[in-house]
Structure 1
């Protein structure tokens, strides 16, 4: 396994950008989502997350991204799984690859009423039941496997195919 850095000094492992996301439960069985404004998934509802910074652990990155993108201060986080995700940002665009470390918060969090989102990052925040939103299909799979949603697996597969995305779970252990 090789570790290097890309031009922005972000850790890369086996040509994959290291990233972390947080499943943050909200009130009344909701989950926290952000409407992404930039990157490969611009225009999609996503779980809060992003790149792991130099010297930062995956858990620290998940916690930081939840606070930066959605304003939630999560308590204890537990690992859910690790996924390798590859795709192309657009038709004929540059390929991308992420190794995504997924965590979930043990306690629900509420987005503070006075939280001001960064419009360069996200354009909206929602705390809704997963059945009320259609996030990016990679997050649909993550939520299914973590027990937070029951999106139709065939729909998830078709959406990933349409977006030219592949996704593999790293390791074979059970998801907690």
Structure 2
């Protein structure tokens, strides 16, 4: 009769063959047994399964002992002790030659067209945080087809107003360049 003994507990065999820190799953090879030895092997298996955590347990392979497996931690990010405040994004003074255009909850840019009573069309850029004058200057540099006098800043409401319908151009510029 062929019999196989299995255990999922990590073990280290100490019968002269030292395995170091390698993990070994105890699994004996197939053994040929006489029909009368089957009951004694079953009793031996039951006692071995109950005592696997005992350091004095012996088997036909030698003295076995549970192995503590070290888990190596790997992190993409550096430790908090290694990061300095000047390396963080936004650590500089915000508001001077810096600006931020906040998107809506759905991810859209706050660029709108406004129609006045006399039929004039204006493009508004709302939710400008920081320096809206710098945003105006950057828009004047990148939107060459719009005259410089057509782009104005309203400081009280923190928005930039452009004469004419330039919603598509401004949204494309803000989503790609800035």
TM-score after normalising by structure 1: 0.24
Q: Whose relative contact order is higher, 1 or 2, with alpha carbons under 8 Å and at least 6 apart?
A: 1
Structure number with larger C-alpha Rg: 2
- Which structure features the higher share of strand residues? 1
- Which structure features the higher share of helix residues? 2
